[in-house]
Amino acid sequence: MSLDTARMVRMANAIRALSMDAVQAANSGHPGMPMGMADVATVLWSEYLRHDPKATDWADRDRFVLSAGHGSMLIYSLLHLSGYEHPTIDDIRNFRQLGSPCAGHPENFLLDGVECTTGPLGQGLAMAVGMAIAERKLNADFGDDLVDHRTWVVAGDGCLMEGINHEAIGLAGHLKLGRMNVLWDDNQITIDGSTDLSTSENIKARYEATGWHVATCDGHDFDDIRRALDEALANERPSLIACRTVIGKGAPNKQGTSATHGAPLGDDEISAARDVLGWEAKPFEIPEEVLSDWRGTAGAGARAHGEWLDRLSAHSQRTEFERRMAGDLPENFSLDGYIQSLIAEPQKVATRKASEMALGEINGQLTETMGGSADLTGSNNTKAGGIGPFTADDYSGRYIYYGIREFGMAAAMNGMALHGGVIPYGGTFLVFTDYCRAAIRLSALQQTRAIYVMTHDSIGLGEDGPTHQPIEHVQSLRMIPNLLVMRPADAVETAECWDIALRESDRPTVLALSRQNLPQVRTSADETGLSSKGAYRLKQAEGERRVILVATGSEVHVALECAERLEQEGVGADVVSMVCTQLFDEQDESYKADLLPNVAPGEILRVSIEAGTTFGWERYTMSNGLNIGIDRFGASAPASDLFEKFGITADAIVPQIMNKLNG
Amino acid sequence: MSLDTARMVRMANAIRALSMDAVQAANSGHPGMPMGMADVATVLWSEYLRHDPKATDWADRDRFVLSAGHGSMLIYSLLHLSGYEHPTIDDIRNFRQLGSPCAGHPENFLLDGVECTTGPLGQGLAMAVGMAIAERKLNADFGDDLVDHRTWVVAGDGCLMEGINHEAIGLAGHLKLGRMNVLWDDNQITIDGSTDLSTSENIKARYEATGWHVATCDGHDFDDIRRALDEALANERPSLIACRTVIGKGAPNKQGTSATHGAPLGDDEISAARDVLGWEAKPFEIPEEVLSDWRGTAGAGARAHGEWLDRLSAHSQRTEFERRMAGDLPENFSLDGYIQSLIAEPQKVATRKASEMALGEINGQLTETMGGSADLTGSNNTKAGGIGPFTADDYSGRYIYYGIREFGMAAAMNGMALHGGVIPYGGTFLVFTDYCRAAIRLSALQQTRAIYVMTHDSIGLGEDGPTHQPIEHVQSLRMIPNLLVMRPADAVETAECWDIALRESDRPTVLALSRQNLPQVRTSADETGLSSKGAYRLKQAEGERRVILVATGSEVHVALECAERLEQEGVGADVVSMVCTQLFDEQDESYKADLLPNVAPGEILRVSIEAGTTFGWERYTMSNGLNIGIDRFGASAPASDLFEKFGITADAIVPQIMNKLNG
């Protein structure tokens, strides 16, 4: 049931007033978008969005994504007006100030109702694709009674111009994610000015070419907005709803121009806007009748939620559904048996293959993992355990052919993880983390359990050459806060890493895996789970410890060979496998000092060995250490030739160590 | 003039034979694409491509980009058959082996005729957009007599599915780059299998929606290929030519399947292909009459080149044109006067503003700089010196409104630099280097003079919050080989950095610039050009040097304040401004030891101060040093609040130094 137009206008103007006042108070921010999209958002949130402001974690709520995250005052206004506990009016008053949950851009970890962190353009829409995927998957697993909701996106021209848009909508169109609707703020303005400056594209035709339904409306006409939303709901394809709007609508002298985009309107213009809008309330005050109208819109969602709770109570799969949505692994989930089988029969396999073996076990024990690859399935070894494809015809599948869309894949994985109920993993070559790095960073910032299966992790990939050989990638990923980067040495460590990654529910993981076969270095049945400390002593010096070799992944067996030769020379050498520097850094001082003792530099020589940049390894080897690595681009040749060329062999390393010891 | 079909077939089969044999010999590689596109490539190279194999640096040659770089044997075959000096047949025999210029993917620095390095999908096409931009710009500057060539691209489904495709073709369509033609290898196969697995897109409709002309042909019918190419030439828009092909054409049992994509065909299949193709020559032998037909195709290009040389000789702008194409700066180019004016009247400005001031000078002295921004012109301060926009109506302009297309911009800049005659620079926020990192890496690998103007380089951007605040970015960019990362401290250093970047003709540069105002720390007229050593002593300890503060960019003035306070405590402290770690690393040992002496750890305390990750700074501070930085995501608040919160102030730092000295 719709309210009359006059009341709707007031509700929309409440958004406009909060937005312009908050930006003015902060003296920074973006009033143009919230003011332009206020009418569309009012219709959507008061009449279409199925949500319960008093139960923000309701599993079957519609998901709303503000992809144009700079317009954050739009969602802060909507959450406050709709009756969410936060943001309070004081939170909004402190927009963009230290400690306020109303940050410059919406952050999922600061506010319930903010489904994902947006601001980096295009990614919100692409994460929404992942949410829509998760919704369909859970619907297939649990039925309409428990899962039957929509994903709504508000996107601007920037979101549509970014390359990731092409990947995201291509995936959504192909998968026929008809419950996804994108409201495009078609205001013909970007930061630099008119969109004419930089684009001549027919966006509607492009979306149609990609399998989308397109509707159009006047974004300031409530009935027309309703008509377009109804049209979208009725269509089985994902819908783009082009909302013709005036940016900064309501600011009489600046509306329709880029001047409203990213700067406060100024006191004079705000005063003029108040006159035009007939808005007499003081800043941060919402007239009682307007607030009452807004709060009244929550009833439908609350009722729907109540009915849903009844269905849940009676549902045969309730326990499993709740476990899945809570993100808990089954209590009996364990890779121990599998790991013991490796100990019993050591395997010389590439760690990408070891990952496939582990996944065979994992995908058998878990129902929530959803795998995929950006068109490198056979190389990333991501399709394992007999899981079938997730397709438009069968949403029960657990494997996504993402196509050649690394960035779209990573963002979709974030959306899936944020939606909950599934654990996404996806693969490409490690070097192509560069293509999706912005999404990996958002995994870390958003604290999502996304697992990146990044294979071909060094010059060990061989002939494909420098464009495909990671040099700086492992180290540069280790720099991203809250991201676990694991580079396992063999099949045992690979399984341990998978176990850790699955149990880390609020951190993403990058698994850096080899193309080439590696000997199994872990063969003792006594000690398991060693990778969980990030680094551990794999081999102890026979006599006095004069050297500590710290290696990762495919270089651990090289370190073992170096140690063996050093021992032959009478030089005691430890080998430490540092499978994850971040986890090691988190250990207590005594553990760290046991592995890497705090003796004066020179007493014990520390040597790092990793087939990538040496930059950063000084952290672990101290200033008189030796850092073996590759500080240039790679080359095209068989892998063994390259390890020799770049000196990542015991033959090349041992003499350097002996020189250093004797020097 | 066309050769008869039978001879054309033999010419195309020479490509097929070389490709399948080279991949087989290397036991790795991609035969499917070269065999599928052999017919199209034969028509293009023998009848349409204007080039002179004996003069690979002819400025007005057509540019050919193999965007689907994995099909590298296609271009190696074409270069050899057309009569380029390299690759020789022995080079091809050593395909993918150490030392062969026939690397796994084509590399511009290994072979003339390879216009850019490809393999990372989509970027070849996007670089071609930059080449086509440079062509039009030079045409506007020098006229049809000197510059009037085309840009040809061979692209696969991967290149079209990547997000960068959307950005690249959007830019090309908007700028009406009608002399750019993309030949799409429409074989309906990707690595994972049929394109149906991952896409349902109507590619032709999408290109049309983006302002492109689309032609279609049977990629195995010479006349039909010619018809489509003629159609493309006649159209004033950029053209996509959809070439329906059979991947691996000629391999009777495997063609049309993904089995031919990325693996050797095997001896049996190659033998069967020889039968089907009627190709009796041994591996790496080309029948004389086939080679003669191929070599005969070079005549037209050689004649055109000769005529062009005549026009060049007579041209009034010859000297300037040759200078531009050689990439030399004018002999009298200098920023010294401008820098002296800063010394005379110190400026407290943001370094992004200082960059604009320097650009005002640069764009006045040089004609070859072409600027732009990914829709942040007013924030990046990239439009300076009165340069006008480069538009479809006026190709003489020097400023590109790239739109919200960071990756497309960076790749276009690479293409412009590779084309020559222009020096591209472009801006976005530093945090969005994540969106274009794959192109920045290719700048470094390809040795292009692309200059990235990356502003808002730390928490100093303030209220926009963690999505917009670089933490790991500066350090992670420093890890990319052959990339100069400069973080200037004030207006003088900013000018010096611009001077270095412009003079580094075979290295790209990232300028990390502040949003916030910074005091001018360089005020001495005696010493200029200090930034060229990467680091220099800005302030000398008054008494005994007990501390060395190493800082960059916006933290240099913080270091100066720390030093002042330390001196007040009687602690002698140097301040080193490390504007570019890479350039510092290249200095001789005595210079480095003077700045950072090789004394025992503990004798002199080294402290790094940079408002980003501390990871990696141990390289310069030694194991007992102190690393001041930010090892977590940022927050949304005014900049001054954030510097305080994260302890990047003299108040927070000095006590830590005193503790360490007294500890």
Tell me how far CA of residue B80 lies from CA of A208, B53, B113, in angstroms.
44, 9, 10
Between A104, A623, A641, which is nearest B463 by CB?
A: A104
List the one residue out of A428, A448, A425 whose CA is nearest residue A371. Answer: A425
> What is residue B507's predicted lDDT score, i.e. its pLDDT?
97
Is A157 annotated as belonging to a binding site?
yes
Domain A5-306, what fold? Rossmann fold (3.40.50)
% of residues, chain B, pLDDT over 70: 100
pLDDT digits (tens, 9 = 90+) for B548-584: 999 999 999 999 999 999 999 999 999 999 999 999 9
Confidence class for position B624, pLDDT limits 50, 70, 90: confident
Q: Where are the domains of chain B?
A: 5-306, 335-519, 532-662
CB contact under 8 A, A105 and B636: yes
What is the chain B residue with the closest CA to A156? Answer: B404
For residue A100, list chain B residues with Cβ-Cβ distance below 8 A: 636
CB contact under 8 A, A404 and B157: yes
> What is residue B599's predicted lDDT score, i.e. its pLDDT?
82
CB contact under 8 A, B104 and A465: yes
pLDDT digits (tens, 9 = 90+) for A434-453: 999 999 999 999 999 999 99
Is B261 annotated as belonging to a binding site?
yes
pLDDT digits (tens, 9 = 90+) for A148-162: 999 999 999 999 999
Do β-strands B451-455 and A63-66 pair in parallel, antiparallel, or remain unpaired? unpaired
| Cβ contact A495:A353 at 8 Å | no
For residue B69, list chain A residues with Cβ-Cβ distance below 8 A: 467
Shortest Cα distance, chain B CAs vs residue A435, angstroms: 6
Is B70 annotated as belonging to a binding site?
yes
Mean pLDDT for A63-90 is: 98
> What is residue B600's predicted lDDT score, i.e. its pLDDT?
75
pTM, whole model, 2 decimals?
0.98
Mean pLDDT for A97-109 is: 97
Choosing among A33, A107, A404, A406, which should be mutated to test the B contact, i.e. which has the most B CBs within 10 A? A404
Q: Is B504 a catalytic residue?
A: no
CB contact under 8 A, A198 and B481: no
What is the full DSSP assignment across B416-463? Answer: HHHH-S-EEEEEEEGGGHHHHHHHHHHHHHHT---EEEEE--SGGG-T
Dist. CA B227–CA B221, nearest whole Å: 10
pLDDT digits (tens, 9 = 90+) for B222-236: 999 999 999 999 999
Which uninterrupted H or E stretch holds A359? Answer: helix A351-365
> What is residue B525's predicted lDDT score, i.e. its pLDDT?
83
> What is residue B300's predicted lDDT score, i.e. its pLDDT?
95
Dist. CA B36–CA B24, nearest whole Å: 17
> What is residue A1's predicted lDDT score, i.e. its pLDDT?
61
CB contact under 8 A, A615 and B616: yes
Between A161, A407, A481, which is nearest B471 by CB?
A: A481
CB contact under 8 A, A464 and B205: no
Q: Which parts of A430-585 fold into alpha helices (H)?
A: 433-446, 473-478, 491-503, 556-568, 581-585
Shortest Cα distance, chain B CAs vs residue A586, angstroms: 13
What is the chain B residue with the closest CA to A470? Answer: B480
% of residues, chain B, pLDDT over 90: 96
pLDDT digits (tens, 9 = 90+) for B584-594: 999 999 999 99
Confidence class for position B513, pLDDT limits 50, 70, 90: very high
Asked if the model's pLDDT at residue A241 lies above 70, the reply is yes
First and final CA of chain A: distance in angstroms? 85
Is B557 annotated as belonging to a binding site?
no
CB contact under 8 A, A467 and B442: yes
Asked if the model's pLDDT at residue A3 lies above 70, the reply is yes
- ipTM reported for the complex surpasses 0.95: yes
CB contact under 8 A, A377 and B475: no
Shortest Cα distance, chain B CAs vs residue A545, angstroms: 20
Asked if the model's pLDDT at residue B645 lies above 80, the reply is yes
> What is residue A273's predicted lDDT score, i.e. its pLDDT?
98
- Tokens 């996509």 found at: B240
**CA angle (B191, B195, B196) in 5-degree steps:** 135
B434-473 burial, b at 16+ Cβ within 10 Å, e below that, comes to bbbbbbbbbbbbbbbbbbbbbbbbbbbbbbbbbbbbbbbb
Mean pLDDT for B343-350 is: 97
Amino acid (one-letter) located at A122: G
Asked if the model's pLDDT at residue A267 lies above 70, the reply is yes
pLDDT digits (tens, 9 = 90+) for A352-409: 999 999 999 999 999 999 999 999 999 999 999 999 999 999 999 999 999 999 999 9
Mean pLDDT of chain A: 97
Shortest Cα distance, chain A CAs vs residue B371, angstroms: 14
Dist. CA A553–CA A156, nearest whole Å: 43
Dist. CA B573–CA B542, nearest whole Å: 7
* Cα B575 versus chain centre, distance: 34
Mean pLDDT for A237-243 is: 98
pLDDT digits (tens, 9 = 90+) for B154-198: 999 999 999 999 999 999 999 999 999 999 999 999 889 999 999
Mean pLDDT for B472-491 is: 98
**CB-side exposure of A423: number of CA atoms within 13 Å?**
28
Asked if the model's pLDDT at residue B1 lies above 80, the reply is no
A408-425 burial, b at 16+ Cβ within 10 Å, e below that, comes to bbbbbbbbbbbbbbbbbb
> What is residue A601's predicted lDDT score, i.e. its pLDDT?
66
Given the candidates 3.40.50.970, 3.60.15.10, 3.40.50.2300, 1.20.950.20, the CATH classification of the domain at B335-519 is 3.40.50.970
How large is the angle between the packed helices B556-568 and B650-662, nearest 10 degrees? 50
Shortest Cα distance, chain A CAs vs residue B452, angstroms: 17
| Cβ contact B367:B142 at 8 Å | no
Asked if the model's pLDDT at residue A290 lies above 70, the reply is yes
pLDDT digits (tens, 9 = 90+) for A509-562: 999 999 999 999 999 988 889 999 999 999 999 989 999 999 999 999 999 999
For residue B641, list chain A residues with Cβ-Cβ distance below 8 A: 97-98
For residue A623, list chain B residues with Cβ-Cβ distance below 8 A: 601, 618, 622-624
For residue A475, list chain B residues with Cβ-Cβ distance below 8 A: 476, 479, 616
- Looking at domain A532-662, which CATH architecture does it have? 3-Layer(aba) Sandwich (3.40)
> What is residue B359's predicted lDDT score, i.e. its pLDDT?
98
Amino acid (one-letter) located at B99: G
**Total residues belonging to chain B:** 663
Radius of gyration (Cα) for chain B, nearest Å?
28
Is B158 annotated as belonging to a binding site?
yes
> What is residue B256's predicted lDDT score, i.e. its pLDDT?
95
Amino acid (one-letter) located at A353: K
pLDDT digits (tens, 9 = 90+) for B65-119: 999 999 999 999 999 999 999 999 999 999 999 999 999 999 999 999 999 999 9
Choosing among A107, A165, A198, which should be mutated to test the B contact, i.e. which has the most B CBs within 10 A? A198
